[in-house]
Each structure stands twice: as structure tokens, then as C-alpha cells.
Copies of this chain bind each other. A is one copy, B any other.
């Protein structure tokens, strides 16, 4: 294993120390237990947004803490859910009196620990609601999941619900927006290579020299099938087809197309995938009205990509376009 780390046990703490130093204008990091809040938290009268989950998916979630997106992120160990305590601490730290929304990717540990933290927060008279994101069409149940996994759609939920809270919507409305995003977003990913969790020291799974995994999870969980290496266009089809079959967008719909890198993929390859995915959506009569291309929800150094399609309406589009100022996503501020 060759990684730019010191001790595998300190990967998250040292990452957060560097993140704090680099972005002190935007975020404040709390250590032991670890969580990241907006530098100006809590924002009085605004619904607070808290997300979190295992580390190793950077910039998700800490990179999205800031004005117009998350109020707090709670990173667990690599690929490991955070415990309820830091989730509770983060929830209390961002409560500005208007309640808190938990944005939870659908993994069993995350769901349980966020639920526990929410119950504890409610005992302290903080109103908490939760959206469980489950946009991955690859598999119905999975290694760590009952139901569908939450993947790239999480970035859409965090941005759009973040803009909803930022404009002053109340907790019910922010939840309604988040739910609408989750209902209209579908994703599927693939891997060319595996990744290595630092404390494990060896790849999470084995892939042959000429083999790829279609429908991979963001922790390297098995997907739908392994197939021989194929062209970018063929691979793109293997991701777009299941998304369209499931989302069933009416011709004429406007969509956001998000092509995400798994962490180790050259940017150029993502644009090649985007190019064909966009043609496929246009051939299906859809208008690609918004786009996002890059590393936004990763799996350490895994090579591969995921495709996310979000069916837009006017309100979701306006919220997507709203200003945002975070370490990883900034626009108009």
C-alpha cells in the first residue's frame, strides 16, 4: 500500500487538521469527537443541515459545509459510520431555533446512528427531521444496506436543500424539497480498479486486469455484475440504461446530468463519459439543463465513475443555481 499518510489510525484527524487550517474562513472543526461546522454556526432562525458518514468520500461531506449548503458534517472513520455522539453535538451546534434536517445516505449504520442522535436531540427540544437518500439503482439490497444505497444524489440533496434553508424555508419545506430531490434522482456507478482502506492495507476487492464492476458501491460493495473491459461509450450505456428505466422521465423533461469521478479517474475521462451520457439523454428527448462533472463523492483512489440524473422543475433549478460558498463548491459568493 502506497499512500500519503502517516499512521492509518490518524488519517481522519490529520485530514481534518489540514482541512481546518486551509479553510478557517469557512469552517470550524471540532475534534474528539470529530465534526465540522460552518464558521458562523449557528445561524439564528435558519434550518440547520447536518450530514455525515464514513470518511473516504471526500469532498463529501465536509467539503460542502458553508453558506448555501450544509451547516455541519460528521465524518466517521474511513468507510465507517460516525457514532451518535458527534452527530448529536453537530446537531446542537447548528441549531438556530428553526430545527435541523439530517441528510443521511442509506447505509444501515448511518441510518441507525442518525436516528439515535435525532432522538437524543429531541429530548433536548431540538426539532429534527431526516431525509434518507437512496438513489442508487444498481442493487435493491446490498452489503451494508436495506433498500437502495445513497450515492451521488446526496450531493444534489445537500446543495438544493441547502439553498432552500438558506432562503429561509422552514423545516417542513426544506424536508419537502429534499424529498422531492431524492424522489427525482437516480444514480449508478462502476469501477475500473479497487481502492485500499488505510487500516486494511490491501484492496477491498479484486478485479482482473481486463475486468470492471458495473453497479459498484462507494465502499467497493459488489454491484450488478462484472464484465470484460469495454469502451467508455459502452460503459456509459450500462449506467444510463438502468437510470432511465427506473427514473422514467417524460420526453421534454429538463434534467441535471452529474458525472462523478471515484477519486482516481483523470478528469478528461469524466468528460468523455459526460459527452456520451448527454447524447443518450438528448436521444431520449430530455433537455440537459444543468451539469456537474468532477470528483464530488469518491471512494479513496478508486478509478471509475458514477452517473446521476436529476429531473428538474423550476424550483429545484432555481435552488441549484443559488449561490454557495463551501470549500468544495462555490458559486456567486
Q: Which residues of A contact B (CB under 8 A)?
A: 2-6, 11-12, 14-19, 21-23, 55-56, 58-59, 63, 192-193, 209-210, 212, 229, 231-233, 235, 263-275, 278, 288, 291, 293, 295, 298, 300-301, 303-305, 330-333
Contact = CB atoms under 8 A, between A and B. Distances in A.
26 contacts: A2-B192, A4-B235, A4-B269, A4-B272, A4-B305, A5-B269, A6-B231, A6-B233, A11-B268, A15-B271, A15-B272, A18-B270, A18-B275, A19-B271, A22-B271, A22-B274, A22-B293, A56-B268, A58-B268, A63-B267, A263-B264, A264-B265, A264-B303, A267-B295, A268-B300, A330-B330
A300 B278 CA distance: 23
B4 A270 contact: yes
A5 to B, nearest CB: 5
Given A272-B5, A305-B4, A278 B231 contact: no
Most buried by B among A15, A270, A305: A15
B22 A291 contact: yes
Nearest to A192: B2
B267 A58 contact: yes
A287 to B, nearest CB: 12
Most buried by B among A15, A267, A295, A332: A267
A295 B266 CA distance: 10
A192 B4 contact: yes
A269 B295 CA distance: 14
A192 B3 contact: yes
Given A229-B2, A275-B17, A59 B267 contact: yes
Contacts of A333: 332
Contacts of A17: 271, 275
A209 to B, nearest CB: 8
A291 B192 CA distance: 32
A193 B266 contact: no
Contact of A21 (B6, B274, B301, B304): B274
